[in-house]
Amino acid sequence: MSIVSRPGLSRLKPEYWMALVLSIIIPVLLMMISRYYYLLLLIPFFILFLVGFAKDIRSFLYVIAFVSPLSVLLSEFIPSGSFDLYIPSEPLIVIFFLLFIISRGRHEYDSTAVFSHPVTLIILFNLLWLLVTSVTSTLPVVSFKFFLSRLLYVAVFYFVGLLVFRDDRAIKRFAWMFIAGLSAVIIYTLYKLYAYGLFNRNAAHFVMQPFFKDHTSYGAMIAMFFPFLTGMIFIRQNLYLRIFAGILTLLFLIALVYSYSRAAWLSLIVAAIAILIIRLRIRTSVVVLAVLIFIFFVGISFNTLFMQMERNRQGTDEDLAKHLQSVSNVTTDASNRERINRWKCAIAMFQEKPLFGWGPGTYMFQYAPFQHSADLTPISTNAGILGSAHSEYLGPLAESGLPGFLSMIILMAAVIYFGIKNFRQARQPESKIIVLAVLAGLITYGTHGLLNNFLDTDKASVAFWSFIAIITTARNDKQPNKCG
């Protein structure tokens, strides 16, 4: 009997077969690109051809979820290239979107429910305003590239996601596929860190490369999927699967600790508090109002923080407890002072162009003149590199003006509102756990967004817009065909 015909393997679902194939193809692809065999960039096309045999749109999305944590910027291998993209994820996303449009007629889509949902309306406004501010941008080419990238991710992972994530099984498969890819990166990262020493903070900043740029984005994705893994332990399902979820939860916890990402730690604490509040059944409007007040408080506190900045240069400290303590030490830690420097630049840029901003994606090229010598740190730079605003909210404020900023704030508030609403309306225990876990994941990212911004990466964009689609399409058992 051949191996393929054995019952245990023949029952594997198409997406799991593809995960196995991809785990072999991706290392080969990266090796060949590093040796400048550019024609092998066509491999993603071949992968999608294989996935096509699954004859199920969801399988395409599962494969993309798996490869996203494993994708690498093309510039890692071709530094002098005229353009950059994540491979193989972004070529797959583009092809998937085109194939979805071609096969549009074969898929049911309740456009009335989708486009009338408040979350969808907020997202559409945000996209429209990005388009407007791309026209008025100080660097139109940069802004239109940013807009097209955002449009692609929203179209695939939000709008197509609304079609795919109507089924709890699809949600779990998508999340498990992303977790599978991320677990491979975690094992790779911990192995490299072990060689340097687990308590080597300097090494912890780069050992996840080339898959993640640094420890902050790496920690953000671990934190975002940690609630889902924890939730899977409590779902009534196969005992072995629950044990497996427990093992992966432990792996993710270890990875989170040794990521040395203070923002990731903080985001999980905030998410845990939010879950506790939700479980206490405090009114949804009160919870959302509390979130908005918190964000507003942080905003009006900036000036106070700026005035209290000290010039104490804190070096790296190998002690984990001191590292955790520096989360709140905004005035003395070097990375925190640089973060405040970037925030001040974003606010100054907003004050100069309050309505339309400087243009989507332009912050890194325009913020340098707004730095003051008193605010510079050892890690400050005037170059158009390492130049993010370190905030998912202040970045849009500088780049798209007040409307862009408000659209992000309102989007997060709306997602939290509908997440709580759908959690409380869900009748099935499994659905309640999934909605709460996804909502907690989004809260970790929303909290992280106060300190960093990663929506310009494929990993964060895939997870963020997919999670919002899951919250939006989660439904009351009495209303099976409606969103939210």
Q: What is the per-residue pLDDT across 412-430, written as a single tens digit (0 to 9) for each?
A: 999 999 999 999 998 888 9
User: Is pLDDT above 50 for 478?
Assistant: no
Can you give the pLDDT at residue 339? 83
pLDDT: is 453 or 46 the higher one? 453
User: Is pLDDT above 90 for 220?
Assistant: yes
Query: Are the beta carbons of 196 and 207 closer than 8 angstroms?
Result: yes
Mean pLDDT over 380-398 rounds to 80
Q: Which of 121-125, 265-269, 462-466 has the lowest mean pLDDT?
A: 265-269
Can you give the pLDDT at residue 48? 55
- Cβ-Cβ contacts under 8 Å for 153 (sequence gap 6 or more): 93, 461, 462, 465
**pLDDT tens sequence across 144-154:** 999 999 999 99
- Cβ-Cβ contacts under 8 Å for 292 (sequence gap 6 or more): 409, 413
Mean pLDDT over 316-324 rounds to 49
User: Is pLDDT above 60 for 53?
Assistant: no
- What residues pair up with 333 in beta bridges, in sequence order? 314
Mean pLDDT over 455-484 rounds to 79
Query: Are the beta carbons of 389 and 346 closer than 8 angstroms?
Result: yes
User: Is pLDDT above 90 for 219?
Assistant: yes
Can you give the pLDDT at residue 306? 46
Can you give the pLDDT at residue 251? 96
Q: What percent of the chain has pLDDT over 70?
A: 72
pLDDT: is 238 or 305 the higher one? 238
Can you give the pLDDT at residue 83? 72
User: Is pLDDT above 70 for 297?
Assistant: no
**pLDDT tens sequence across 329-355:** 554 466 778 888 889 999 999 999 999
Mean pLDDT over 3-32 rounds to 50
Q: Which of 24-28, 267-271, 394-398 has the lowest mean pLDDT?
A: 24-28
pLDDT category of residue 278 using cuts at 50, 70 and 90: confident
Question: To the nearest 5 percent, what fractions of the chain are helix, strand and coil?
Answer: 70, 0, 30
**Domain locations in the chain?**
12-107, 113-484
User: Is pLDDT above 70 for 185?
Assistant: yes
Considering Cα of 193, then 194, then 199, then 203, what sign does the dihedral take?
Answer: negative
User: Is pLDDT above 50 for 451?
Assistant: yes
pLDDT: is 481 or 362 the higher one? 362
CA angle 443–448–450, rounded 5-degree value: 105
pLDDT: is 191 or 297 the higher one? 191
- What residues pair up with 72 in beta bridges, in sequence order? 87
- Round the average pLDDT of the chain to a whole number and report it: 80
pLDDT: is 1 or 172 the higher one? 172
User: Is pLDDT above 60 for 272?
Assistant: yes
pLDDT category of residue 398 using cuts at 50, 70 and 90: very high
Mean pLDDT over 245-274 rounds to 92
- Cβ-Cβ contacts under 8 Å for 429 (sequence gap 6 or more): 235, 236
For residue 86, report the phi and psi dihedrals to the nearest 5 degrees: -85, 130
User: Is pLDDT above 60 for 233?
Assistant: yes
Can you give the pLDDT at residue 238? 78
Q: Which of 260-269, 312-321, 431-440 has the lowest mean pLDDT?
A: 312-321
**pLDDT tens sequence across 21-35:** 555 555 555 555 445
Q: How far apart are CA 173 and CA 15, in angstroms?
A: 9
pLDDT: is 375 or 369 the higher one? 369
Can you give the pLDDT at residue 154? 97
Two tokens, residue 36: 């400048």
